[in-house]
A and B are shown apart, each in its own frame.
Chain A
Amino acid sequence: MSYRLTEDQAALRDAVRVLADERIAPRAAEIDRTAEFPWDVKELLASHDILGLPFPEAYGGLGGELLTVCLAIEQISRACATSGLILAVQELGSLPLILAGSDEQKQRWFPDLAAGKKLIAFALTEAEAGSDVAAARTRARRDGDDWILDGAKRFISQGSVADLIAVFAVTSDDADAPRHKRLTCFIVEKDMPGFTVERVEHKMGIRGSPTAELAFKGVRVPDANRVGGEGDGFSIAMRTLDRSRPAIAAQAVGIAQGALEVAVAYARDRKQFGKPIAEFQMIAAMLADMDAQTEAARQLLYKACVEIDAGAPDAGRWSAMCKLVAGDTAMRVTTDAVQVLGGYGYIDEFPVERMMRDAKITQLYEGTQQIQRLVIARALTARR
């Protein structure tokens, strides 16, 4: 096995980088300021097949190789974390179908998702069920050939702009049933009566990505929209997160790299005491640490992607480790980038304050850093 990117991977990465630099970076500040979902960026990603990356070629995608998806998310996030999240969420929402969907379901939804004609969101979290996923209260009860969904989901990325939502609901009435056998996954379509977007949160970062509270009031969902078997929902959700956490790690690495590049450029230009501040050892050391930490996070991410795609038995551990390290790195590197820029780092004339705000979410979503540590520790202690 080569320990370098293949020519194809490098070519795709470079193509996305050019697009991100020339077409997305100039929009990033405005997306953050207006907190409006960047439909133009979504169209741009769709028209260059980037939203097709997570999907199998048979359905119009580019094959779904995790490392390639992450290379793209990293490059987009380097310019704009909100925009990088568009691809990450398209993958996240589709993963239940990729992992457990029937051929009929894939045929029905993947071509439009791969072409970016439709967006999909992932609705697992509830107001009272965050880290404790199995505590979900949204219910689905059988009604003939259909299911009736009732409940609410919170903190759903792109929930208000998605055409399809992968929703996890309790389908077991048996109080004695194991907690991880109670959930089932359904695809809710946005036009289904009873489905509403209750509100969109005001956030600290990734401000252009709408984070929605969704309500399901007697939503009638055909059984054909059930993903996997009854009671398989928890397992599908966990396997989804094994593959989706690297996408967030990629977003984090991209944010860190973007901040590092701004800090380096600034430190070379900015003169104090008659010379560029990059020549002062305290600044130079910060830049060196930022680069080394970012590269370390990146390499762990790439390795995790390869291991997960190869079907490693400890995929959950790789996935948690790369998200943990990358998220903390993004937070530290962006904070240091603000420090390097001094007062200029604290104002919106430079992008590092935005990057610092954007970085914070990578320590929170798709499992807090504490949950990542829990996953890693459990994998460690379960070993004989």
Chain B
Amino acid sequence: MYEVLSPVGKTELPQPQPIAPRLGSLEGRVIGLFVNSKPVAPVLLERVEELLRDRVGARTERFRHPHNRELLGEELLAFRRWVAEVDAVVGAVGD
């Protein structure tokens, strides 16, 4: 008979936060398109851009991510300035 210890390390995750208030309507809003470095992202988000414009009358602004990692330092500051200029953000995730 063995008595065994857990191999799992304690996880110190933040408390869950709710998402930001939604926009109600997208008409006339500026939607930020966050383009990561994956090859399909610009093409995919270009089509999103067209559909948002045609279906709900939204404008779009793009932020080109230089790589596919978490933004840090100056890149993060530039990203935050860009987010301040838009009403919401759509980003492509996964390959």
Is the A/B pair a real complex? no
